[in-house]
Copies of this chain bind each other. A is one copy, B any other.
Amino acid sequence: MAATLKDVALAAGVSIKTVSNVINDYQHIRADTKQRVMEAIDELGYSPNLSARSLRSGRTGVIGLAVPELSLSYFAELADAVITAAERRGLKVLIEQTGGGDRARELEILRSPRLQMTDGLLFSPLGMSNEDAHYLDVNFPLVLLGERIFGGPTDHVTMSNVESARAATAHLISKGRRRIAVVGGHRGEVIGSAGLRLRGYQQALEEAGIPFDPALVGHTTFWHRANGATSMRELLESGVEFDAMFGMNDTLALGAMRVLQEAGRRIPDDVAVIGFDDLDEGRYSLPTLSTIDPGRVEIADTAVRVLQERISRRDGDTPPREFEARYQVIERESSALPG
């Protein structure tokens, strides 16, 4: 079986505590004993039992990341960034999938005892709404991601949804467009990605003195490619005129672009398009997709940092903080027109 401190201690002729001290870089150890211990460790191929260590210390060195589905590119890229950020800080990441917006499963995650293998949780809900905020008041370190809940009882790392959506819309306006369709609206939503981004869209219109036309907003339940396609088909059938489109995320935009092209609309000539998320995919679509980089890497870094602070300080009393990542408009072919 695997060697333990005891075995190493025996081999090196010291107490187990001394071995433990060597491993934990305790200051006052004679150079020669230290070396003897190191040799014994190498020889036996010892490595510490992390279950025992975390039983003793109360820490596992693992954080949980709960996202809807890794098949959704945005969450896959987020998970990538989180794992990378965590690794830099010596943490491992255990990933849970809550399903695409399944509120019940999301609540279950918050209750589940299984999370005990982790020191804290990065939680990105999709089905919960602001009324569920009190469920976030749990007794373990929790950092909230995403735009479903604001003003909750925990730290929160989010995008600048309103501002960046306004910038995206303003970008289309700066290209001379005035009839800007939207794909991905959620009826009646005020916060949540859809609500916030629609607000940004409206703000940009207002600033440009363009009246808001509800007929230009396509609604979808989910934000998959298929929904973007369907929504665009509906817009086209409705006969409403438009010379630009803002996709609430890249996946929607790509699905919608596909339908536009089938319908014979040229992009960007007939319809200028911008998405949201800066997925790798948009870099190689035809045409390449203009988009908003929502600062995914910054979000992941901040979230992991803040969670780690909460874990190590154990300060349940510091009031919850809110962080907004910096965004960036990325112009590609789908909106490249003489400004």
Q: How many residues of A contact B (CB 8 A)?
A: 52
Q: Which residue of the partner chain, among B80, B97, B114, B225, contacts A283 with CB atoms under 8 Å?
A: B225
With a cutoff of 8 Å between Cβ atoms, the chain B residues found around residue A229 in the complex are 284
> A94 at interface (Cβ–Cβ under 8 A)?
yes
Contact A280 B225 (CB under 8 A): yes
> A96 at interface (Cβ–Cβ under 8 A)?
yes
> A319 at interface (Cβ–Cβ under 8 A)?
no
Interface of A is mostly: helix
Q: B-facing mask of A272-289, CB < 8 A → 1, else 0?
A: 000000001101111000
Q: Would A79 and B83 be within 8 Å (CB), given that A262-B286, A285-B258 are in contact?
A: no
Q: B-facing mask of A284-318, CB < 8 A → 1, else 0?
A: 11100000000000000000000000000000000
* A residues in contact (CB < 8 Å) with B: 1-2, 47-52, 54-55, 60-62, 69-71, 73, 76-77, 79-80, 83-84, 87, 92-97, 113-114, 116-117, 139, 224-226, 228-229, 254-255, 257-258, 261-262, 280-281, 283-286
Q: Could you jot down 19 A-B contacts, CB within 8 Å?
A: A1-B139, A47-B113, A48-B116, A49-B116, A51-B54, A54-B117, A70-B80, A71-B77, A71-B80, A79-B79, A87-B97, A92-B96, A117-B117, A225-B280, A225-B284, A228-B284, A257-B286, A262-B286, A286-B286
